[in-house]
């Protein structure tokens, strides 16, 4: 499946990171500190996987509508 989500934000050039929902374990906290993911909190938002720009906060979803 080809995703339309860019790896780099077209607005600000920041890294686009996957947002992980749910209660994070130690590994997820470490990944977030390394800048590999963003923590989205305990409640799922939207219909599917979400990615967010680490620079400006612009969001994409992986779900194809
Ligand atoms: Zn951005």
* H or E element in which residue 39 lies: strand 38-41
Q: Does pLDDT of 65 surpass 60?
A: no
Ligand 1 geometric centre to CA of 10 (Å):
7
The pTM of this model reads 0.78
- 12 vs 14: CA distance, rounded Å: 5
pLDDT in tens, 21-47: 888 899 999 999 999 999 998 777 666
Ligand 1 geometric centre to CA of 22 (Å):
24
- Sheet containing strand 38-41, edge to edge, reads 38-41, 16-21, 50-53, 59-61
Instruction: Report which of residues 38 and 3 the model is more confident about.
Output: 38
Whole-number pLDDT of residue 52: 94
Ligand 1 geometric centre to CA of 36 (Å):
15
Q: Does pLDDT of 4 surpass 60?
A: yes
Burial class (CB in 10 A: 0-12, 13-18, 19+), 51: buried
Instruction: Report which of residues 49 and 2 the model is more confident about.
Output: 49
- 32 vs 38: CA distance, rounded Å: 6
């Amino acid at each position: 499946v080809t995703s339309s989500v860019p790896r780099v934000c077209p607005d600000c050039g920041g890294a686009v990171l996957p947002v992980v929902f749910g209660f994070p374990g130690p590994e997820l906290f470490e990944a977030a500190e390394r800048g590999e993911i963003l923590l989205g909190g305990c409640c799922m938002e939207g219909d599917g996987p979400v990615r967010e720009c680490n620079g400006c906060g612009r969001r994409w979803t992986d779900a194809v509508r």
